[in-house]
């Protein structure tokens, strides 16, 4: 599987599993009540804002000065407070808009939620956005490595109510004050700076932790040294999710991770980590662990076996070496996803009578030594939807029971093994392979 595909699958999981559910608590319903009329001044401001944009696909066609479009609370992406009629939410996520941010947004003084991300805005982010002092949630960015830039994030420090800050593909190369600014946002709960070309910065000193930060995602940047761990730990003492995927992080992961006792998700996908994962370095609170696409070595059992809350585990494409036995899974009764693919040194030695403590949905064991026998324990897995045991040195007949034991199976790859006997006709099923 190429990194791109993996990455997509990965993002999907990340977004679906952890992120949306959490963010949803901040989002209000977008419906507006009959009878609400928006305020004239705010309507004018939105029209001015639209004027400075290029709306190639007509996504904002409900916005207009015509009489029948008068109530801007009914415009696409706009939500008004049902008591004050003020616009409180503007959600223009992914509408392919181009052009500049107009200063007219400042007229919408009670804006609490602003999402302009995944558009094609260019130029410098106007610092006057820092005057929208009631903002709880701010998302900005372009749809790719575009030319949206900010040379300093100091303007953000005026947003004292900010809970949720996301920048995607904003060029922050020159914004060396980003960390200093973050430390001033004491109400921040979610920080995501994705693909912003961030690299080494000196920690501001003295350095005050914001105890409210629970999600930190600094993925797709240029971080290369594991100094990032102590820095992040200083940012928050109650971290729930840490995403550092697709950076250039090297060396070993620090033992001090163990102290992050509230960490439920750790995503280090696609870096250059080496060495063994130190015994007991990973906090037992972990529910989601992705160490895939690195160069980790050593055994799996020692670092994973005690993570009894684990639901999603991916160690894909590393250099782990281990003989996996039943005992690895002794504590892993909540596991839903097991991805050990492409670790050539991993082989399985599991007795045919094993009754696992888990019910898996996703099993990816491609490129591991699973054979010579077809894994009999799969018979117990009633929830299985995705199974890849391709290229797994299996030399066996394909078992008859398999088709009945996993009624939810949607995606199967058993290629590059040595099966004999007759496979049933699958042409009417939905299998990909």
Ligand X SMILES: *[C@@H]1O[C@H](CO)[C@@H](O)[C@H](O)[C@H]1NC(C)=O
When the beta carbons of 174 and 382 are compared against ligand X, the nearer one is 174
Cα-Cα-Cα-Cα dihedral sign, residues 114, 115, 121, 122: positive
261 makes contact with ligand X (CB under 6 A): no
Per CB under 6 A, 26 contacts ligand X: no
Based on the shown chain and the rule CB under 6 A, indicate whether residue 423 belongs to the binding site for ligand X.
no
Footprint (CB under 6 A) of ligand X, residues 317-336: 323, 327-328, 330-331
294: Cβ contacts below 8 Å, ≥ 6 apart: 268, 269, 270, 271, 272, 273, 274, 317, 318
Question: Which residues are CB-neighbours of 156 under 8 A, at least 6 positions away?
Answer: 130, 162, 165, 181, 185
3-state DSSP assignment of residue 253: coil
CB nearer to ligand X: pick between 148 and 165: 148
> Residue 234 CB, nearest distance to ligand X (Å)?
4
Which one of residues 160, 372, 416, 423 is an interface residue with ligand X (CB under 6 A)? 416
Give Cα separations from 9 to 43, 266, 269, 331 (angstroms): 40, 16, 12, 27
Candidate list 176, 306, 319, 405; residue touching ligand X; CB under 6 A: 306
Total number of residues that touch ligand X (CB under 6 A)? 48
H or E element that contains 388: strand 386-388
The residue from 2, 24, 31, 33 that contacts ligand X (CB under 6 A) is 33
Nearer to ligand X, 62 or 147 (CB): 147
H or E element, residue 404: helix 402-405
Within 8 A by CB and 6+ apart from 222, the residues are 197, 198, 199, 247, 248
> What whole-number distance in Å separates Cα of residue 179 and Cα of residue 187?
15
Looking at the Cβ atoms of 272 and 415, the one nearer to ligand X is: 415
Considering only the stretches 85-93, 201-209, 272-280, 400-408, report the one whose residues sit in contact with ligand X under the rule CB under 6 A.
Answer: 201-209
**Residue placing its CB nearer to ligand X in the complex, 204 or 399:** 204
Asked if 157 touches ligand X (CB under 6 A), the answer is: no
Q: Which of 64, 275, 278, 305 touches ligand X by CB under 6 A?
A: 305
Q: Which of residues 36-95 bind ligand X (CB under 6 A)?
A: 52, 54, 82
Contact 410, 384 (CB under 8 A): no
Judge contact between 257 and 281, C-beta under 8 A.
yes
Nearer to ligand X, 222 or 400 (CB): 222
Q: Which of 16, 93, 174, 423 binds ligand X (CB under 6 A)?
A: 174
Which of 128, 248, 382, 410 is in the footprint of ligand X by CB under 6 A? Answer: 128
Q: Residue number with the shortest CB distance to ligand X?
A: 305
8 Å CB contact between 121 and 99: yes
CA distance 30 to 398: 51
Residues 6 or more apart whose CB falls under 8 angstroms from that of 5 comprise: none
In the bound complex, what is the minimum distance in angstroms from residue 290's beta carbon to ligand X?
19
Handedness of CA 153, 155, 158, 163 (dihedral sign): negative
3-state class (DSSP) for residue 61: coil
The pattern of x and - marking residues 86 through 125 that bind ligand X according to CB under 6 A reads: -------------xx--x--x----------------x--
Contacts of 291 (CB under 8 A, 6+ apart): 268, 269, 273, 277, 314, 315, 318
Residues 350-389 vs ligand X: string with x where CB under 6 A?
----------------x-----------------------
Cα 336 to its chain centre, rounded Å, is: 18
Regarding 391 and contact with ligand X (CB under 6 A), the answer is yes
Are β-strands 120-121 and 98-99 bridged in parallel, bridged antiparallel, or unpaired?
A: parallel
Q: Which stretch binds ligand X (CB under 6 A): 6-14, 61-69, 357-365, 409-417?
A: 409-417
* Site residues (vs ligand X, CB under 6 A): 28, 33, 52, 54, 82, 99-100, 103, 106, 123, 128, 131, 145, 147, 171, 173-174, 197, 199, 203, 206-208, 227, 230-231, 234, 255-256, 258-259, 301, 305-306, 323, 327-328, 330-331, 349, 366, 390-391, 413, 415-416, 432-433
């Amino acid at each position: 599987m190429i990194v791109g595909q993996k990455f997509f699958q990965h993002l999907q999981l990340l977004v679906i599993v952890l992120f949306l559910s959490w963010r949803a608590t901040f989002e209000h319903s977008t419906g507006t009540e009959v009878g609400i009329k928006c305020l004239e001044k705010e309507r004018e401001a939105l029209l001015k804002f639209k004027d400075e944009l290029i709306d190639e696909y007509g996504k904002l066609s409900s916005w207009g000065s015509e009489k029948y479009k008068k109530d801007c609370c009914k415009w696409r992406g706009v939500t008004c407070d049902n008591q004050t009629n003020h616009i409180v939410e503007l959600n223009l996520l992914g509408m392919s808009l181009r052009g500049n941010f107009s200063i007219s947004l400042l007229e919408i003084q009670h804006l609490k939620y602003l999402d302009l991300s995944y558009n094609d805005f260019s130029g410098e982010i106007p610092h006057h956005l820092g005057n929208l002092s009631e903002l709880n949630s701010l998302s900005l960015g372009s749809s790719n490595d575009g030319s949206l830039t900010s040379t300093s994030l100091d303007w953000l420090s005026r947003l004292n109510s900010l809970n949720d800050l996301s920048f995607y593909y904003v060029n922050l190369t020159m914004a060396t004050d980003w960390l200093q600014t973050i430390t001033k946002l004491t109400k921040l709960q979610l920080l995501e700076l994705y693909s912003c070309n961030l690299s080494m910065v000196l920690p501001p000193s003295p350095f005050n932790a914001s105890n409210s930060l629970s999600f930190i995602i600094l993925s797709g940047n240029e971080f290369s040294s594991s100094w990032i761990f102590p820095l992040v730990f200083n940012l928050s003492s109650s971290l729930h999710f840490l995403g550092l995927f697709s950076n250039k992080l090297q060396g070993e992961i620090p033992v001090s991770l163990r102290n992050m006792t509230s960490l439920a998700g750790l995503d280090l996908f696609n870096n250059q980590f080496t060495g063994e994962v130190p015994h007991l370095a990973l906090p037992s609170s972990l529910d989601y662990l992705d160490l895939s696409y690195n160069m980790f070595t050593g055994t799996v059992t020692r670092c994973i076996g005690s993570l009894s809350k684990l639901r999603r585990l991916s160690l894909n494409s590393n250099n782990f070496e281990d003989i996996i036995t039943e005992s690895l899974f002794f504590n892993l009764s909540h596991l839903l996803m097991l991805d050990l693919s492409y670790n050539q040194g991993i082989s399985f030695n599991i007795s045919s009578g094993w009754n696992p403590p888990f019910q898996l949905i996703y099993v990816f064991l491609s490129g591991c030594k699973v054979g010579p026998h077809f894994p009999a324990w799969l018979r117990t897995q009633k929830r299985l939807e995705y199974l890849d045991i391709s290229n797994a040195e299996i030399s066996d007949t394909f078992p008859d029971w398999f088709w009945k034991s996993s009624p939810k199976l949607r995606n199967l790859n058993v290629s590059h093994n040595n099966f004999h006997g007759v496979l049933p006709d699958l042409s009417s099923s939905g299998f990909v392979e």
